[in-house]
Structures are given as structure tokens and as C-alpha cells.
Amino acid sequence: NAGVTQTPKFQVLKTGQSMTLQCAQDMNHEYMSWYRQDPGMGLRLIHYSVGAGITDQGEVPNGYNVSRSTTEDFPLRLLSAAPSQTSVYFCASSYSSTGELFFGEGSRLTVL
Amino acid sequence: KQEVTQIPAALSVPEGENLVLNCSFTDSAIYNLQWFRQDPGKGLTSLLLIQSSQREQTSGRLNASLDKSSGRSTLYIAASQPGDSATYLCAASGNQFYFGTGTSLTVIP
């Protein structure tokens, strides 16, 4: 079991570029989510999904897109990167929105 | 909106000491309360999950308690070791998971 796998681990972008952060889980979890972690602000929910084909916005969704075509994968797309999106991004999954949450190792993104 | 608070933000103790980390939440209508450990530059590792119907959970030197009526959870670490140094976060589960900002623990050899 790999658990929750995120790629890439590190990425540097220029303002205006787009990119996709990948997240995959092999635990057959229905619930998947993306968070960003910034110093002093804790973890903030960007988008989440309760199953394939179903996504919803979290606390800070602007500038990000998600889709859930399979149970295993939940990619996060940055449409036009801005310096304010410099952060560490975490993908997490659970068997349900009320179950035990498991995290990936994180993706550190720097936008210049 | 659920608000989760962890105080203190940082804690430093000598090795061998027993310690308690605190987590408080404003809405008692939670499904569960989960404690995590985060090492620098790493992801969050689940330590203990307490279902709303439970009062406590134990794993090794760790014991977590939950008092929904008062909106509090505590994480008790017995006989602390330098390897316990990390940031500890709690999360309350409602319609979403709501996180505290964590307590940074340093155990001094």
C-alpha cells in the first residue's frame, strides 16, 4: 500500500504559468481533498470530492480547479499561477468525509 | 463555522517529562477528533482518532481524550523522548475537517 502519493514534491513556476499537482490513493477512499498550508494560517481546504464525478469548493478555491474522473485520482490545477499561491499543498483522503484522514507528503510550490 | 484552537503554539520540555497538548473547538456537533504529527518538511501522520461516541483512545505512550460538551480534546504524551519533537495538530470532523494551527513540541535531551 502506497497510501496517498503526490507529485511533484517541488515545483517553481513563473507568474501566469499553469500546472497540475497530481494526487493518487490506493485505499479505495471515496473522500479526497486538497489543502494548502501557510505559516501561521494552518491548513486551509481548497477543494474536495466525495466520490468520482463529484467535487465541491472549500475555503480558498479561487485560482484552482479540480476534477475527479476516477476514485483513485484527484488532480489540482493552477490556472494562472500567482505569487500568493506559493505554499505547501497537501492531498488527503478518507473512506468518508467523517472518517480517518490520511495525508500525502506534500508538494512545495514557489511562484516567482 | 467550526473554529479549532491549539494552545500553546510552542512547548519545550526536558526528556522524560509527561505532557499534555490541548485542542479546543467551538461546535460540539463533530463526528470525530483526530490528532496528527507533522515533522518539518513532511506530511501529516495520523496518531489517534476518537469517534464522537468515545471518550478516549490510546496508542503506546499516547492517550487522547475527548469531551464534546466542553469542546475540548487533550493529547497526553508519557515519558517524552527527543524523537517526539514535532508539530502536533488536531482536526475536528463535521461536514469538513477543521484544523488547529498546531503546537510545536521540542523535547530537550
Strand runs (DSSP E) across A8-75, as ranges? 10-13, 19-25, 31-38, 42-51, 54-57, 64-66
Express each pLDDT in A12-50 by its tens digit: 999 999 999 999 999 999 999 999 999 888 899 999 999
Which of A33, A101, A106 lies nearest to residue B34, judging by beta carbons? A101
How far is the C-alpha of B97 from the C-alpha of A33, rounded, in Å?
10
- From the number of C-beta atoms within 10 Å of its C-beta (0-12, 13-18, 19+), residue B44 rates as buried
* CA nearest to B33 within chain A: A100
Per-residue pLDDT of chain B (109 residues; tens, 9 = 90+): 889 999 999 999 999 999 999 999 999 899 999 999 999 989 999 999 999 899 999 999 999 999 999 999 999 999 999 999 999 999 999 878 999 999 999 999 9
Q: Which of B44, B95, B101 sits opposite A103 (nearest CB)?
A: B44
Q: Hey, is the C-beta of A103 within 8 angstroms of any chain B C-beta?
A: yes
- Chain B residues with CB under 8 Å of A97 CB are 93, 95-96
